[in-house]
Amino acid sequence: MNFIAEAAAKAIKELYNTDVAAADINLQETRKEFQGQITIVTFPFTRVSRKSPEQTGADIGEYLKANVSQVEAFNVIKGFLNISIADSHWLERLYTDIVPDTFAAPQYNGQKVMVEYSSPNTNKPLHLGHIRNNLLGYSVAQILEAAGYEVVKANLVNDRGIHICKSMLAWQHWGNGETPESSGLKGDHLVGKYYVIFDKEYKKQIDALKAEGQTEEEAKKNAPLIKDAQLMLLQWEQGDEEVLSLWRTMNSWVYAGFEQTYKQLGVDFDKYYYESNTYLLGKDIIEEGLAKGVFFRKEDGSIWIDLTEDGLDQKLVLRADGTSVYITQDLGTAQLKYNDFGMDKSIYVVGNEQDYHFKVLFLILQKLGKAGADGLFHLSYGMVDLPSGKMKSREGTVVDADDLMAEMETTAKEHTEALGKVESFGEEEKSSLYHTIGMGALKYFLLKVDPKKRLLFDPNESVDFQGHTGPFIQYTHARIKSVLSRARGYTEDKIPVTTLASEERDLIVLLNRFPDTIQEAAVGYSPAIIANYVYELAKLYNKFYHEHSILQAEDEQLKHFRLQLSAASAKVIKKGMALLGIEVPERM
């Protein structure tokens, strides 16, 4: 709608002899209770017009009508100038922009971006919080790609550390050689089971020591199990073959399990990083920082950075014994990623509980003057809470990812069967439909909310299938496809329609906004913007569908026009949902 802003700027120049940049003219959509599609707020210009808001609006309106061919009419209500754009302009948009296959196709912007997401620990299965992370990361990657970036999806697997040793140790003690095959358990669940066992036994030992008179703190340190776990970690770091071999075995179980879950979720990665390979990185960066005077060494030999001038604290970056801490690794990994891909931007999809960590990490990289440091971004999302509060894996109050997905499919099946529309479907088509709908409901539920906000999930209240939901949008798509298939073909030619019904015009106006919406979502790293847009589109299409007959339109030409409009709507719904990682069925 740039031409309106430019014309309005010209109008102000000629009418009031004042220069206003077109970009400074605030255009908004006309509210639906008024005539027109575009509204200019005239209050800001009363200063230069020295007239009332009404008169100013009328002046500019007259000018636009006289000088801009697309402007057909206008009305002024208080300080609002509502402009009606001629239907010919909207039809032009439809046929030259929206209908062609190239609509909203990515235009490479010359930039490369890495999106790191998922980044699981290998000692327990994925839960609902990980699902939000995975869906966000995958969707943001799709959105950035659609916005013109070259995208690398990365997964940094936390496959080492004390937590994995805990699972390994418990398995050695109480596993009796159990394997995924022998137990029938998915590998990640099997390993998770031993993590829980470790914790239970560890607590028993703590209680026993406390009964002997030790304090809680002492007991936690002195329990034999935790000492064994620490010893095992040391052995792992020294390359003890027995420990390494068990570690490899158990990790391979977990990976097989994760792969299955990722497949169900429909997410994937271009590059895997493993902490077992990266945990020693970063030490050369510490040296570099010392040399540059960014870091300093304390008397005990530990190395720190002072961030008090930036409103933060002093932060340890290397222990006195020369071993890494979390941030040491992350410094090294950031460098490794940049060396591998040389990306312009690097997005970390990590929960907001790590806000402080990333603030520090990015600040350090900037102070070191690292290439790419300005392109770092922490996509910080809110935790998923249950009505009872936070999910805690040790207390068993987590919503397991695999269980939840299975439940969603079952619920989708029940809903669908109750509606009795799938009698003609084959078994394979049915089960694939249930998966599509169940995952659609879950994904949409999680993605429609602003990533920054915390999310409340009530396991007792099933995810809806009606209203502002994934299945509603999927249904709208299937509904359009059904009409299109009944039409047995339609012309691709431009139909010489002259006037549009209001629902038709509204649809074109909304479809026309899709490319801008993608950009907006990319800038804000927000799938929620896409989710809300697609919902609005589906809602509007259903209104159109209800108000106007397509196949029984007044004449052949109108019928073809409405079929084209319907096909365009289906296309945008499908593309929009794909940006969320949600599939859309041909029929349901």
Q: Which of residues 518-577 bind RNA (CB under 7 A)?
A: 528-529, 532, 535, 539, 542-543, 545-546, 548-552
Which residues inside 181-200 make contact with RNA, applying CB under 7 A? none
Q: In the complex with RNA, which residue's Cβ is closer, 21 or 211? A: 21
556: phi > 0 → left, psi -120 to 50 → alpha, else beta; which?
A: alpha
Least Cβ distance, residue 441 to RNA (angstroms) = 8
> Whole-angstrom Cα distance, residue 540 to residue 562?
14
Query: How many helices and strands (H and E) does the chain possess?
Result: 22, 15
Q: In the complex with RNA, which residue's Cβ is closer, 250 or 588? A: 588
Least Cβ distance, residue 284 to RNA (angstroms) = 19
Q: Which range binds RNA by CB under 7 A, 109-117, 258-266, 401-409, 460-468?
A: 460-468
Least Cβ distance, residue 26 to RNA (angstroms) = 6
Which residues inside 248-287 make contact with RNA, applying CB under 7 A? 275
Burial class (CB in 10 A: 0-12, 13-18, 19+), 45: buried
Task: Confirm or reject binding of residue 30 to RNA (CB under 7 A).
Answer: yes
Task: Confirm or reject binding of residue 464 to RNA (CB under 7 A).
Answer: yes
Identified binder of RNA from the candidate list 58, 231, 290, 316, rule CB under 7 A: 316
Task: Confirm or reject binding of residue 121 to RNA (CB under 7 A).
Answer: yes
Which residues inside 49-78 make contact with RNA, applying CB under 7 A? 77-78
Tokens read off for 504: 């038709």
**DSSP assignment letter at 463:** P
Which residues inside 32-51 make contact with RNA, applying CB under 7 A? 33-34, 39, 41, 43-44
Asked if 275 and 156 count as a contact pair (C-beta separation under 8 A), the reply is yes
Q: Which range binds RNA by CB under 7 A, 3-11, 105-113, 464-472, 490-498?
A: 464-472
Asked if 240 and 246 count as a contact pair (C-beta separation under 8 A), the reply is no
Identified binder of RNA from the candidate list 16, 80, 90, 295, rule CB under 7 A: 80
Closest by Cα among 329, 376, 380 to 352: 380
Contact code string over 210-239 relative to RNA, x by CB under 7 A: ------------------------------
Asked if 588 and 433 count as a contact pair (C-beta separation under 8 A), the reply is yes
Residue with tokens 């977990």: 254
Least Cβ distance, residue 462 to RNA (angstroms) = 10
Q: In the complex with RNA, which residue's Cβ is closer, 67 or 230? A: 230
Task: Confirm or reject binding of residue 452 to RNA (CB under 7 A).
Answer: yes
**DSSP assignment letter at 118:** -
Asked if 367 and 439 count as a contact pair (C-beta separation under 8 A), the reply is no
Which residues does 508 contact at the CB level (< 8 Å), separation at least 6?
A: 90, 91, 93, 94, 98, 500, 565
Task: Confirm or reject binding of residue 392 to RNA (CB under 7 A).
Answer: no
- What stretches of 299-411 adopt beta strand conformation (E)? 303-306, 314-318, 345-351, 376-381, 384-386, 389-390
> Whole-angstrom Cα distance, residue 401 to residue 258?
10
Task: Confirm or reject binding of residue 325 to RNA (CB under 7 A).
Answer: yes
CA 123 to chain centre: 25
> Whole-angstrom Cα distance, residue 226 to residue 234?
12
Three-class SS of 187-201: HHHHHHHHHHHHHHH
Least Cβ distance, residue 209 to RNA (angstroms) = 19
Q: In the complex with RNA, which residue's Cβ is closer, 151 or 165? A: 165
Task: Confirm or reject binding of residue 486 to RNA (CB under 7 A).
Answer: yes
Task: Confirm or reject binding of residue 79 to RNA (CB under 7 A).
Answer: yes
> Whole-angstrom Cα distance, residue 423 to residue 119?
42
The CA angle 272-240-245, to the nearest 5 degrees, is 55
Task: Confirm or reject binding of residue 162 to RNA (CB under 7 A).
Answer: yes
Identified binder of RNA from the candidate list 302, 397, 519, 557, rule CB under 7 A: 302
Q: In the complex with RNA, which residue's Cβ is closer, 37 or 142? A: 37
Contact code string over 335-374 relative to RNA, x by CB under 7 A: -----------------xxxxxx-----------------
Q: In the complex with RNA, which residue's Cβ is closer, 469 or 512? A: 469
Least Cβ distance, residue 465 to RNA (angstroms) = 4
Q: In the complex with RNA, which residue's Cβ is closer, 271 or 430? A: 430
Q: In the complex with RNA, which residue's Cβ is closer, 99 or 473? A: 473
